[in-house]
Chain A
């Protein structure tokens, strides 16, 4: 078990470092000259003062060789310092930290909704004996992954804010303002959870242990939840891990639709202003969230299915 944990930790750190490197290369090596882009943000490029360009180059270290720049930035990033925003001059780290709580609220609520709605749908669809209900329920997830998130958000606003006046259309105020954005963000995630869970539940219900449980006289509902669902939840858990990064990134669209403050709005503004340090920070943060979630999930696996550690230990012994 200890070996498994250490190995996964080392992998996670390695992936984080590499993700930082890839985003650094993308942002600093591609054709566009970052400094000209920064200096000309909001105006036509071409007529930018050369002295200002040189000053900016020096300030951000772009006059040094790329490798030196990379080492400088990486050294600071490890300490949690991503430099200063070009547009606002504030440190990137505190810009992101200020925006984060709102986005965590949003994504937390969204993931809760997605698991409840998606999971509930999958359980109900596989449990019901009515053919039409099952087909109706199973036709929803493909629909959920096909609709543009921003469109769903706008339709919800149109319906529940402008017509029914149940929820506010814009802003960050309280629980009421959270309902529509969270629901919007939950639609594609919930749909994917439902797809995977329904598939693995159907597989699980065909297994011999389900038959054994039934033969021993367990009720249908009990067999479905206690025996089949527990075994079928592993693939769904993996999907949740893969979707967390997508949720955080999805906040860019949802926060724009609902004019909510948060990480997504900061990101959108940074891309518009070509504020490279902020974008770099956001990408690194996204990778951090993704890697951490998947690390946690990988560490939960052995609790749900002890065979996993046994298998990985055996492989380690063989290697």
Chain B
């Protein structure tokens, strides 16, 4: 779509700062690293909190039993529509199920879907960008025009078209979300490969007779991976949002599975008398996304820019 001069702001739109030269400067000692890490974290309480939130969410998705002993599917009709309290932190829903335990158990489904989405986007987009950047010439032209086309279809429409074709379910929704964000990965990966490919050390290894695959594996891949991984952390947040939007629309796991988006769309019917059914699960989504975005921002430059 956009050409040359117009390219720069478009990249700024993606929120990606120019990466620093990987592996520049002497390797600092291990102890220095730890101290530097501690100082970095202590000066940023928001970042520290984000890490804690993310760790809790990951723990919840693997061992939900750590946080709640209540069954997310067990309904106690006499206990329905109880507001948040000591025994039910997030209250209970229309069937008397404990909403907190549904959110905790839902983390597993939602996080699994998000991971699949990011992985699909990372692998497919990364490969496209890698091939385009490394092979160059007409392959580059063809692949990048294809990526431009993917960019021209709004992400949600692309996901919806894929859901129409593939059908419903957590995994299918995840794949649909992943494919929809392939384009961004392809662009960043290609830009990085192009940047590294022109570096002097790549030229030197070529000149000293290294095969293309060893140049690729030893020099290009390790040095180009950083910004793509940063993009993956950024994409994690937007994938959580996209997956939960699709499951809110009803294309995710069938009920009574407690996917985060589904929880909110269930609660929507009782908005007037039970605010906690929508507000609190939504808060869980927002907190998770906020935390991953904050961590992504820290990875994206803050760490390397510090004195």
Contacts and interface: CB of A to CB of B under 8 A. Distances in A.
Contacts of A252: 156, 160, 249
Contacts of B150: 22
Interface string A158-176: 1000100000010000000
Interface residues of A, number: 72
Contacts of A145: 293
Contacts, number: 188
Given A158-B271, A162-B271, A196-B12, A15 B251 contact: no
27 contacts: A15-B1, A15-B148, A18-B145, A32-B167, A147-B289, A148-B282, A149-B245, A151-B264, A151-B286, A154-B278, A154-B279, A234-B9, A238-B12, A238-B13, A245-B157, A246-B154, A246-B155, A253-B249, A271-B160, A272-B250, A280-B161, A283-B157, A290-B152, A290-B153, A294-B1, A294-B2, A315-B4
A125 interface: no
Interface centre among A148, A162, A287, A298 (most CB of B within 10 A): A148
A148 B4 contact: no
A71 B141 CA distance: 25
A22 B153 contact: yes
B278 A242 contact: no
A187 B59 CA distance: 31
B161 A26 contact: yes
B135 interface: no
Given A26-B161, A32-B165, A246-B156, 4 more contacts: A146-B289, A158-B278, A239-B13, A290-B152
A143 interface: yes
Contacts of B5: 307-308, 311-312
A150 B165 contact: no
Interface string A126-165: 0000000000000000110111111100110110001000
Interface in A262-319: 267-268, 270-272, 274, 276, 279-280, 282-283, 286-287, 290-291, 294, 298, 301, 307-308, 311-312, 315
Interface of A: 11, 15-16, 18-19, 22-23, 26-27, 30-32, 34, 37, 142-143, 145-151, 154-155, 157-158, 162, 169, 192, 195-196, 199-200, 234-235, 237-239, 242, 245-246, 248-250, 252-253, 256-257, 267-268, 270-272, 274, 276, 279-280, 282-283, 286-287, 290-291, 294, 298, 301, 307-308, 311-312, 315
